[in-house]
Amino acid sequence: MMFKILILQAWYNLSDKALEKQIARDLMFRHFIDLPLSENVPDHSSIWRFRQLLNTEKLLEPLLEQINIHLETTALTQCGLENIKK
């Protein structure tokens, strides 16, 4: 779920706090990250810590690159989905 949150953050260019608020009020965001209405939204500090962990382990850029490759090979970029900016 946390990685999907980072994908939404990259696509919509949201700060950690703005992303937390958007997930709380947007059913599309909740559906994308598989978060039921009965569960609490991860707070902005949890999002930051997860991103920092991926950066520390040098995993974030390779993972985002794989997402971009998948988007391009499945032609989803032609359907309006943009590549993830690092």
* Three-state SS sequence of 35-72: CCCCCCCCCHHHHHHHHHHHHHCCCHHHHHHHHHHHHH
pLDDT for 27-50, tens place per residue?
A: 999 999 999 999 999 999 999 999
Q: What is the pLDDT of residues 62-85, one digit of tens each?
A: 998 998 888 888 866 566 656 666
